[in-house]
Amino acid sequence: MKKGIMIIGHGSRYSYNKWIMEEQKRRLEERGFDNIYIGFNETTYPLVNDALCEMASEGIDYVVAVPFFVASGLHITRDIPGKLGIPPGASGGCADVNGMKIEIKYEQPFGNDPALADILSERIDELSGGKGKRSIMVVGHGSRLPHNKDTVTFQAEKLREKGYADVHCAFNEFDEPRVEDVFDELVSNGSDEVIVLPLFISLGAHLKHDIPGKIRLEDGMSEDTFVLDGRSITVRYAEPIGSDPRLTDIIAEKIRRREQA
């Protein structure tokens, strides 16, 4: 049996997502893993099914597929399994790839891992100005399925358990409360500083263009101060989480667990 690893990204018309995936691959190789491939669900190449064909052509017949996603959703439960040749919602199966049988072990996203709260906590401490009333927004993409909202809510609660006060959830689309509604409410309720933590893997259209306007930032800005009714309110917008090396540790643990099973 020849084993291989596929880390799966969402894909984007921007280059950031691909760079993040390549960085995670490099770090896994530094940790001693080999036969690592990258596949994308959409937009970016190679696509998952193309990467799987390449693995089959190189004799790999056992694949641990790890989606580098924050939360589950239709891509995780429906789209990617289909491209891996396993049933929707399955945790694995046997795929037929150009006549070759490949055993697939399919992992889940990492959104409920405690390391995420540690990453977000450090972002808060780095960004905080330390003056006035501070509010924190944990921002998710949103989904027609409940998983993204559950993940964002879970991480917000972990921050409260760490002692951070005034932590709120917000979503860019599909779910409520919406980013702009939460932000306006915090400002109206007297926040002097709003720290916005996007629970996203990498920069893309949502983080670069959609969300900034909803929190009174121009595209490309990570911080600004505006005046409302004589009050100065500072907005601090964190980077996405995908490049953090602790996420590589999460992937590595998932792979080791599958290899030991």
| pLDDT 10s digits, 24-57 | 999 999 999 999 999 999 999 999 999 999 999 9
Q: What is the pLDDT of residue 260?
A: 80
Average pLDDT rounded to a whole number, residues 61-88: 97
Same fold? 3-108, 114-237: yes
Strand order across the 167-171 sheet: 167-171, 134-140, 193-198, 231-237, 223-228
The amino acid at 78:
R
pTM for this prediction: 0.95
Active site residue 168: no
The domain limits of the chain are 3-108, 114-237
| Cα separation, 42 vs 17, whole angstroms | 11
* pLDDT given for residue 259 in this prediction: 81
Query: Distance between CA atoms of 173 and 72, rounded to whole angstroms?
Result: 16
CATH 3.40.80.10, domain 114-237, yes or no: no
- DSSP E strand stretches across the chain: 3-9, 36-40, 62-67, 92-97, 100-106, 134-140, 167-171, 193-198, 223-228, 231-237
Question: The domain 3-108: what is its CATH number?
Answer: 3.40.50.1400
Of the pLDDT bands very low, low, confident and very high (cuts 50, 70, 90), residue 59 is very high
Residues 143-153 have a mean pLDDT of 95
Query: Does residue 195 carry a pLDDT above 80?
Result: yes
Cα 172 to Cα 24, 89, 115, 155, 219: the distances in Å are 26, 25, 23, 17, 15
Q: What is the mean pLDDT of the chain?
A: 96
User: Given 10, 141, 147, 206, which residue is catalytic?
Assistant: 10
